[in-house]
Structures are given as C-alpha cells and as structure tokens.
Structure 1
Amino acid sequence: MLRPYPLFLVLWLLHFAGHAQAPLAQWHHLDPTADQTMGISTDRAYELLRSLPARPAARPIVVAVIDGGIDTAHVDLRHVLWHNPREVPANGRDDDRNGYADDVYGWNFTGGADGRNIFFNQKEETRLYARLKPLYEHQTLATVPPGKKAEFRLYEQAKRAYTTKRAAAEANYQDDAQELAKDLANVATLRQVYGVAVVDSGRLRQPPTAPDTALPRLAARYYQAVRGKFANLDSLTNQYGRYHAKLKRVLDYDYNLAYDPQPLVGEHPTDLAERHYGNPNVEADPRDHGVEHGTHCAGIIAADRANNLGVRGIAEQVRILSVRAIPNGDERDKDVANAIRYAVDNGASIVSMSFGKYFSPEKTVVDEAMRYANAKGVLLVHAAGNDHLNTDTTTQYPTGRFLNGQTIPNLITVGASARTNDEHLVATFSNYGQQLVDVFAPGVDIVSTYPNNQYHPGSGTSMACPVVAGIAAVLKVNFPHLTPADLKRIILASATPVHTQVRRPGTKTLVDFATLSRTGGIVNMYEAVRLASAVPVPAATAHCSK
C-alpha cells in the first residue's frame, strides 16, 4: 500500500517554481459571504480603508518574524525587509553600538561568532532529561530533599515524555524503513516489466503486459501517486527517501541525549541575563530547512502587494525584521526571550512567533521579555501548535498566561482553520482550547513565498499565526494610536463566530466550532478595520500628528 504524505511534506507536493505572471491563488484573502470561502476579507478591508476620511499618510511599521531565518533575496520580500540604517554591512563592527555587529537585516541567536550555525537541536524534554538524569536517576520522591521535589517532578515528567517519544520515533523509523524497502522493490519490478530505466507517468498510465495480474494494479496505484506531482517513480522514491532521512534526524538530534550543539554558539547557557551572542546570518542556508518556514511566514504577512508577482501579503507599509532563534527541534527559552527583546529594541510593533514546545524550564525570562514588549507597546502573536491537543489541559509554550496565572495582555494565540464551512473547517492538526487559544485563522494550504524565488502552499498553525500578525499590522499602520491591548481586543472582538459542527482535532467527534477557542470565531480583517475606525484618537496623539 502506498504511504500517505505526512503533513510536513505538503510544502513539497504542490510546487510552484519561479514567478507567476499574476498573483497565485490565495484563498485566505477571500470573503466568507461573497466567495463562500472562510477567508479574512482582505480586499473588502482595503476597500473600506480607502473609503474612510483622509488621515495622515501611513508610515511603515516593523513586524518581526522570530523563526528560522528568511530568504532576504526573494523577489517578493526584498523590498519589504527591515534594514538597519545605522549599520555598515559586513565590516565586522557594531556601528550602532547595540551589541550586535553587522545586524543589517536582523540577528541570529542560534549561531556562533565564527559564522557557524545550529541547524538542529534537541527537544526540550531531551535537554531536561539529559541535564537532570545524573542528579535524580537513582532517587525517589521520598529521598529527594524538600527543596528539590519540584525539580524531581520535572525530571520525571521529562523522562516520561522523552522515553515515550523516543520509542515512537524509533518505531516510526523502523516502519518507514520497511515501507521504503517495499517501494524501492516495487519500482525495480516496474522498471523490469516496462523494460526502461526510468518509469514516468506516461508509462504507468499504460497497464504492463505481464502474466501477473497484480502488476497492473501496482502500476495504477503508483500512477495515482506520481501524476501531477512527480516526473517519474525515481522522483517519488527520492521524496520518500528525504522523509526517511528526516525520521532519522529526529533520532539523531531531537531525542538524542548525547547531542549538544550549544558550545558552537559560545555563550553561557545558564546565564539567562546574557544578551549579546550569535551572528548576523538571518538568510538562507541549504542545510537549514528553518529558512523555508520563516520565508513562508514572512510572505503571508507582507509579500510585496504592488509587484504583481507570485503572492500578495496581507499588509502594506510593513518592514519585516528577521530574528533567527528557532532551530529544527525545540527553541531555548533564553533565545526566545532575547529574540523578543531584540525585536522590541529595533522598533517592532508586531512580533510573529510560529513555534512552540511542551516544556519551558526558563519560562521566567520569556515572561519578563513579554512584559517588556507590552511596556514598549508591542503585540505578540503566537501559533497554538500542531498536535491536535487541548492546550487548556496540555500546556504548550509560550502559553497565554504568566507563571503567576495572569493573562498575558499583549499575546494572541492562534489556531488553524480551513477554507470550507463544514465539518472540516478546523484543521485536523490544530491545537485548540476554550481558554488558551484565542481565535482561529486560515492555516491550511496557504500559498506563500519560499526560498529561491519559489512559492509553495503550507499548512499549520505556523501559517495561521502570520495571518493574524498581518491583520494586526494593517490596523497599526492605519490606526497608529492603537495600543497592544486595543489591537488584541479588536482582533478578537471582530472574529466571525462560527457554530458549524466540526471534527474535534485528532478525533471524529463532532463539536461546535465555537467551543474550540475563546472567541469561537475566525479572524476577519474587514470587521477588524471597521471596529478600529471607530476607536477615537487620543487628544495627545491627534495633536502630535498635525
């Protein structure tokens, strides 16, 4: 039986190479009423903005994308990138004296001063278990000193998570090895039957002349797998091979207790107050798949809307600041906190954060950075996660609450929705939660920018997050007096409530869509602009704008 494609391969399967003569189809811009598609009403929102009374000319704002890097040469991004005007490129000096030399497009907290970079890291449970195992391996709760009992419980939780996930990763790898061997054997058989070195879709479309009646069925199944997606069977099995290599990397890095790439960076991991480490490399690297992710997110927010190429971002008058802090694996709390601070200190009004994990041992520093962002007037937007879990009961970090239980006032957490208003409206993979997921946004088959001037569709709450960040950017550009609290309130209040019966993610159980988030709705930019236009401009702000 042919294997289904895993979610992370969606970006590869529907491939748009090079530039399009006109913008590619992007369903998330459409209007639910006019287009019968559960988009965000982008064009309708811009029509409303043009109809409003004249206001002072909009000034560009900075939107930071904390991710795995951005292809700064992409034709649809290069004109919308933040550029540090006080830094001389590649002179090795910190010209603006902010502690980060040559940070022309942003900063990379996952690299060393010598230019090397971390491409893979452990999962947080792996890091915790590796660190705490020597201390507690032969202990029990009864033998641990009172002051260490909380840490011992954390050790037990990390050990349990690591052990379970490592075993699952090993089983996946072994199962896939067997499937890959079957595929390679089947391809070899079909080559022999057809008498050719390369079997393409044209060959597969013609049933092979062979006494074995199973062979036509085999050819038909592989024909369905390759047509419209791959040039031939070798391309298909090469893709399977890349997937198999990814499963191996999960064992080698994510769940490998002995792997520790941090010395490459050269900072002091236990010094949570340390700020100035890393390097200025925020661009593409062929070994790092994280840049594909960051480039895709950046395009959703602000791909050039005026060049009539490829795709259109949601926001105009935006400059994208790249902050690289997210490797393949789990991000470190220290890096996330420093990435938020760097974004704030370099003028970001909105920060898009498409990452997450299920342990946060240094959450204190992340909380402090979020408070810092709030004090500086910065809104944070975060992806809810792709494990079809209820985050009200299984915490995903960064979470919407501080350690003291208070709601983080400048953070929006976003789940992923699909294009049709039926039982499939909620993405099958999306995390959800009536308390800790604020709202849903389009996150399935979202076409956006990809390295090397390419375009691909991608699926994930990672795509839904920049949709909301883009809406927030439109509001901030056109209504600059809005505070983070205003932006959050308007985006949540303007979400369109939906009561469609949908499949609860990870199950076949039908539930009311409105029960899966705080708002029970999907973001709508038109409604958000309408609400924002009614917010009075504070007198001091109005006076300053004259």
Structure 2
Amino acid sequence: MLPAASLPFSRLALLGLLSLAALSARAQTPEQVRRWQHLDLQADGVPGISADKAYRELLANRKPAPVLVAVIDSGIDSTHQDLKALLWRKPTEVADNGLDDDHNGYVDDVRGWNFLGGKDGQNIAVETLEQTRIVAQYRAQFEGAKRKKLSPEDQVKFDQYERAKKSFEKDLDAENKQLAVLKEAFASNTFSFAKMKTALNVAVLDTAVLRQAMVSRPDVPSAKSLYAYLRRTHFGSTDEELKALDEALTHSRNRVEKSLNPAYNPRPLVGDDVNNLTETGYGNPDSQGPDASHGTHCAGIIAGVRGNGLGADGVAGGPVRVMSVRSTPSGDERDKDVANAIRYAVDNGAQIISMSFGKDFSPDKALVDAAMQYADQKGVLLVHAAGNSSLDTDREQNFPSSRYLNGQDIANELTVGASSRLNTPALTATFSNYGQQTVDLFAPGVDIYSSTPANTYSTYSGTSMAAPVVAGVAAVLKSYFPQLTALQLKQVIMQSAVPYHTRVYKPGTKQLVDFATLSKTGGIVNLYEAVKLADRMTAVK
C-alpha cells in the first residue's frame, strides 16, 4: 500500500498485517467494532457470521465435544493469555528430554513442530519467494537459451523459468519503488513529528495533546491535520505511527534484500536436503518461531477464549484445542514443508487444518496434492485462504489451489475470500482473490481484531483472517455435531452460507458486480445458519 498523496503524514500497511481501513456501519460501540465478525446482519446491521446469536439461541444448553484444529502458519505464542489454556499438548511426548518418546520421527514435539528450524534451535524468519528460487535454480541453464533447441522435458522447465523470471522482475521493481517511498515517508514523518514536539514542548505527541493544541496553540495549525490523521488511521500517537511505518520499512527491506534476492539462501540453517522430497523429521520443536504474529492472530480468531474480558473472542470456545505447525516464513513456504506440515497435523489428530498462506508458483504441487489426499483419506477438513492479490483464481493460479493437478476439485478443502463489515460496494475486500468456480465462500477478513504475541492484540486484514473464521465455524460444528465427517462439514458450511446480492466492487477494480458471482456459494459463512442446518442433517428420523 502506498500513502495517499493528499495526506501530510504517511501510514503504510501490509495485507494480512496492519489494516488501513476505518470502516463504519450502523452505530456501534468500540467493543462491537472490535468484534464485528461475531455480529448479525439483522440484529446489528453488520454482515458478520452471527456467532453471538448462535451461542445465545442455539448452543447455550448443549455440551460440546473436544476438537483439534491445526494452524499451519508462522508459529503461535504459547504464553498468550487468551491462547495458552487452549493450545494442544501431546501427552505421549516428554518435553526437552532429547528423545522421540512416541517414535513418530519428531523429537520433543510436545506443542507441535517447526519445519523451518535447525537441530541447533535456530530458525528461518525470512525466506525467498518461489519465483526467486526458480530463477536462482535455472538461470545459468536457461538464460539466453532457445526453447526450440531444448528437449521436451527441459522446455517445461524453461517455460516455468520464463514465467518466474517475469514475475520476479516485476515484483523486484515494485518492491524497490515501495522501499523508496517508505524510506522517504519515514524520514519525512520523523522530521515533522520531532518539529511539532519541539513546538508544543512535549515528549509524546498523542491525540489528547493534539486536541488541546488545536484550541490553545493556533500558531501550530498542522496540529489539526495531524489529529485528524491519527484518528482516521487509528493511531494513538505519532510514536505508534512511526513504529508501524518502521515495521513496514523492515518488511520491504527484507523483501528486496532476501525474498527477492536469488543469492540469498537460508535453508542450510535447517540442514535438510531440499531435493529429497520424501524426507521427514527435519526441523525442531520450536512451534512458536522468531515472529509468531501472524499465526498467533489466526489462532485467536479460531479459538481465543470467549467471554473472559480480555482482548478478543475466538469463533470456537470450550474444548476446542489448537496445534501449531510452523512452515510459513516471511516469504514463500516450500511445497515440501507444506506437505510435511499437513501430514504431521493429520497424524497427530487434527480434525481441521487452517492454512493462511499462498504463493504464485508451486513446482512440487504433486507433493502437496498427495498430502491433501492423505488428509481426505483420514477425514480431515482443510480450510485455505484464497489469497490477497485481487485475482480471479478461475483464470489465475494461486497455490495451494482448490484443484489437484488433474483438474479435479479437492473435496475436503474450503477456499475462503475476505469480506468487510460494510454491506455496501465495499463488502468484498479490495485485496481478496475471488472465483465462481475456485473460491467456495467469503468470510470476515477486513479489520479483524485478535491476539498477537506478548499478550497484545492487533487489527489485521487479509484472506489470512477469513480462513480461520471458517476454520472456527467448522470447529464449532464438529464440537457440537461430532458425527459430521469432513465432507459433511464442508457441505453444511457451504449450504448455510448467507447469500448476498449486494452490488460490490470486483476486487482490484471499480467495476460493480453482484457479490454472489464471486464465489461458488455467493455467500458469507454464517454460524447460526450452519448450526440450524447441522441440526436438521443430524436429527433422528
């Protein structure tokens, strides 16, 4: 995201991390705004999932059964006050004894596994993009080569290299421009904020100080515009704004210097053979990792403790547990790690797997397909984020995709787009991928407030937030209707999705289309309707 040219101060954000949108609907309290995804369209004027209504009217006097949801992501903060009580712990493994007590090939995997770590405890934080890896692998072989002179097998690799190179060069150019803008914005804002602090003789420039200065200091007219900017972008102070801007700057610099650098290769840290696609057991038991922000946020959306007055409520409550499997760095996950992560989750009892990651290339997709088929055979539901590129995935590829290599739909997978809390043309998130054949349904994914490391809470946006909403709904259904199979869970969720015919902006454009044309169901997931449908399906006849 680039700063609006009309603003005197710049707020930069990353999809799936910091939200830019200041949204409004029917008048609501700040608490309702923070937990809007749980609200109901009729009762609250918000296109949420009606979770509060479901618990209040349909589930209050029922007893839920235990359910295990695996979160394949960047890691989860195991000490978070809203999560630590519900995180999975393996009873057959003894912590920190250096032994594989249950003989599953993973030593000390008490709280899950990390496929991005080394035996010495080090972890990969930033990885290359898949297109970068393809360019690095084939550049010496194919740069300047003539396709017609290559063997049929090499022609396939050459075509992949050419596509990857085009994507790599486009991304690198865009990121270099983004980095330049961020550097300028950070320097400019740092100077401007420091100058105003001096003018007002304050150490902290927050909204309270600025509101007072608007009245008492007419000689500092920029106080009014800065106050309006901070309110509009939900920052309490200029220090908070600079912190967010600095994080965006660090992310962009890592993209240029690491993710989009063919010479960068952190994988030796793990110590596995990247060409051995059948290898398992590599990694380490640090299922939190060096930056668990994304995974902790997703875990909180699924099952953060409900009703405890802390932070945010998850969709699922009670005996639902969450397993952390780390295979998603900043950058692109590797197909080998994704396949192993799915199999690990399945083998350790996960009934639902939430997957908020994606990429543009998947050179070893067959390996991931096989893992998904394994999950299907074991009765496990997969919930995957559709992606944040404003793409029609009926026409453009995003991986893991909703279809196997042979074109067959993946029966046990739900692919989820992101919606907002506005039942207006902005109902569809501007960044969300969509597809009438390849995206199953939408779920709240804009301005979602949830847990972040060190007992903090943040508002993120992305299909990364929408997928765990659906995983949470699936967990509730499985908990109260344990007889439902993975395929039946998918059926209930899709058939109970509330259809919307709101005229919305097709993501990435200003073209108005019927919301119902952007996914298979044309709807938004709804827990209340899903519970009602599950009741009918499981009723004794």
- TM-score, normalising length from structure 2? 0.91
Separation of aligned partners in 2, 1:233 and 1:47:
41
Helix, strand or coil: the match of 2:428? coil
Q: 1:460 to 1:259 in 2, by over 3 A?
A: same
Structure 2 residue aligned with 1:357: 359
Partners of 1:274 and 1:91 in 2: CA distance:
23
- TM-superposed deviation, 1:146: 2.1
- Per mean C-alpha deviation after superposition, the further-off stretch among 24-33 and 94-103 is 24-33
> What is the match of residue 311 of structure 2?
310
**What are the Cα deviations for residues 157-208 of structure 1, in whole angstroms up to 9, with x where unaligned?**
0000001110111111123223333323333443554466665545544369
Structure 1: distance between partners of 2:389 and 2:122: 32
Aligned residue number for residue 544 of structure 1 = none
Structure 1 residue 312 displacement after superposition: 2.0
2:392 is aligned, of 387, 390, 393, to 390
Q: 1:269 aligns with which of 270, 274, 278?
A: 274
Partners of 1:12 and 1:456 within 8 A in 2: no
Whether the 8 Å CA contact 2:12–2:248 is kept in 1: the answer is no
Q: What amino acid maps onto 1:71 in structure 2?
A: D
Maintained 8 Å contact 2:87/2:323: yes
What's the offset of the Cα at 1:216?
A: 4.3
Q: How many Å separate the matches in 2 of 1:367 and 1:314?
A: 29
Deviates more, 1:40-49 or 1:197-206: 197-206
Change (3 A) 1:538 1:117: farther
Bigger mean CA offset, 4-13 vs 273-282: 4-13
Q: Partners in 2 of 1:3 and 1:82 — Cα distance?
A: 41
**Aligned residue number for residue 128 of structure 2:** 122
Tell me what 2:25 maps to: none
**Structure 1 residue 12: Cα displacement:** 10
Q: Is 1:136 aligned with 2:173? A: no
Matched, 1:469 2:471: yes
Quote the Cα distance in structure 2 between the aligned partners of 1:199 and 1:58: 49
Once residues 190 and 59 of structure 2 are traced to their aligned partners in structure 1, the CA distance between those partners, rounded to angstroms, is 58
The 1:412–1:229 alpha-carbon spacing in structure 2 relative to 1, beyond 3 Å, is closer
Q: 1: distance between equivalents of 2:538 and 2:222? A: 67
Match of 1:99 among 98, 105, 111: 105
C-alpha displacement at 1:538, in angstroms? 10
Separation of aligned partners in 2, 1:175 and 1:24: 31
2:4 corresponds in structure 1 to: none
Alignment of 1:486-505 (within 5 A): 486-505=488-507
Which residue of 130, 142, 154 maps to 1:148?
A: 154
Equivalent runs, 1:14-25 vs 2, <5 Å: 25=34
Q: Is the contact between residue 24 and residue 311 of structure 1 (CA under 8 Å) also seen in structure 2?
A: no
- Give 1:46 shift: 2.6
1:222 corresponds to 2:226? yes
Match of 1:38 among 31, 34, 47: 47
Counterpart contact for 2:355–2:385, Cα < 8 Å? yes
Distance 2:113 2:149 in 1: 45
Whether contact under 8 Å (1:72, 1:284) holds in the other structure is no
Change (3 A) 1:308 1:201: closer
- The aligned counterpart of 1:169 is 175
Structure 1: distance between partners of 2:241 and 2:34: 26
Counterpart CA distance in 1 for 2:197 and 2:357 is 43
Q: Is the 8 A contact 1:23 1:310 kept in 2?
A: no
Q: Which residue of 2 aligns with 1:81?
A: 87
Letter in 2 for 1:360: S
Distance 2:412 2:372 in 1: 8
Cα separation, 1, equivalents of 2:215 and 2:187? 22
Shift of the 537–324 alpha-carbon distance from structure 1 to 2, 3 Å rule, reads farther
Q: Is the aligned partner of 1:3 residue 2:10?
A: yes
Aligned-partner Cα distance in 2 for 1:70–1:166:
30
Q: Secondary structure at the match of 1:88?
A: coil
Partner amino acid for 1:278? G
Report the secondary structure of 2:68's partner residue: strand
Shift, 1:114, TM fit: 0.8
For 2:52 and 2:234, the matched residues in 1 are separated by 31
Aligned counterparts of 1:3 and 1:384: Cα–Cα separation in 2: 29
Describe the superposition over 1:454-487 as per-residue Cα deviations: whole angstroms up to 9, x where unpaired: 2222211111101100111111112222111111
Q: Secondary structure at the match of 1:408?
A: coil
Contact 1:28–1:40 under 8 Å retained in 2: yes
Alpha-carbon distance in structure 2 between the residues aligned to 1:123 and 1:50: 44
CA positional deviation for 1:283: 2.1
Question: What is the letter of the counterpart of residue 222 of structure 1?
Answer: L
**Residue type at the aligned position of 1:482:** L
1:446 alignment partner in structure 2: 448
- Quick check: 215-224 or 376-385, which moved more? 215-224
Please tell me whether the aligned partners of residues 327 and 338 of structure 2 are also in contact (alpha carbons under 8 angstroms): yes
CA distance in 2, matches of 1:304, 1:188: 41
Q: State the distance in 1 between where 2:457 and 2:243 align.
A: 21
Q: Per the alignment, in what secondary structure is the counterpart of residue 122 of structure 2? A: coil
Shift of 1:352: 0.2
Structure 1 residue 32 displacement after superposition: 1.4
1:410–1:488 Cα contact (<8 Å) kept: yes
8 Å Cα contact 1:490-1:531 kept in structure 2: yes
Contact 1:499 1:513 in 2 (8 A): yes
Q: Is contact 2:11–2:245 with CA below 8 Å preserved after alignment?
A: no
Matches within 5 A, 1:420-435: 420-435=422-437
**Which amino acid in the other structure matches residue 177 of structure 2?**
A
Distance 1:419-1:24 versus aligned 2 partners, 3 A rule = closer
- Structural RMSD (CA): 2.5
Distance 1:99 1:437, change over 3 A: same
Q: Structure 1 residue 99: deviation in Å?
A: 0.7
Tell me the residue number matched to 1:294.
Answer: 295
Q: Size of the alignment, in residue pairs?
A: 522
Q: 1:197 to 1:318 in 2, by over 3 A?
A: closer
Moved more, 440-449 or 367-376: 440-449
**Residue 73 of structure 2 contacts residue 295 of structure 2 at CA under 8 Å; is this kept in 1?**
yes
CA displacement, residues 399-435 of structure 1 (integer Å, 9 cap, x when unaligned): 0000000000000000011112111111111111111
Question: Secondary structure, in 3 states, of the residue corresponding to 2:103?
Answer: coil
| Aligned twin of 1:528 | 530
**Residue of structure 1 equivalent to 2:3:** none
- 1:470 and 1:506 map into 2 onto residues whose CA distance is 28
Bigger Cα displacement from structure 2, 109-118 vs 441-450: 441-450
1:256-286 CA deviation, whole Å, 9 max, x = no partner? 111001000001101111111000001263x
Alignment match, 1:323: 325
Q: Which runs of 5+ in 2 are unaligned?
A: 1-7, 23-30
Post-superposition Cα deviations, 1:108-148, rounded to whole Å, max 9, x if no partner, equal 00001110000000011001111111110120212212221
Q: Distance in 2 between matches of 1:467 and 1:431?
A: 17
Instruction: Give the match for residue 285 of structure 2.
Output: 280
State the TM-score, normalized to the length of structure 1.
0.90
SS in 2 for 1:142: helix
Is residue 11–residue 241 contact of structure 2 (8 Å, CA) maintained in 1? no
Cα 1:235–1:29 change in 2 (3 A) is closer
Q: Percent same amino acid at aligned positions?
A: 49
C-alpha contact 2:356 2:463 (8 A) present in aligned 1? yes
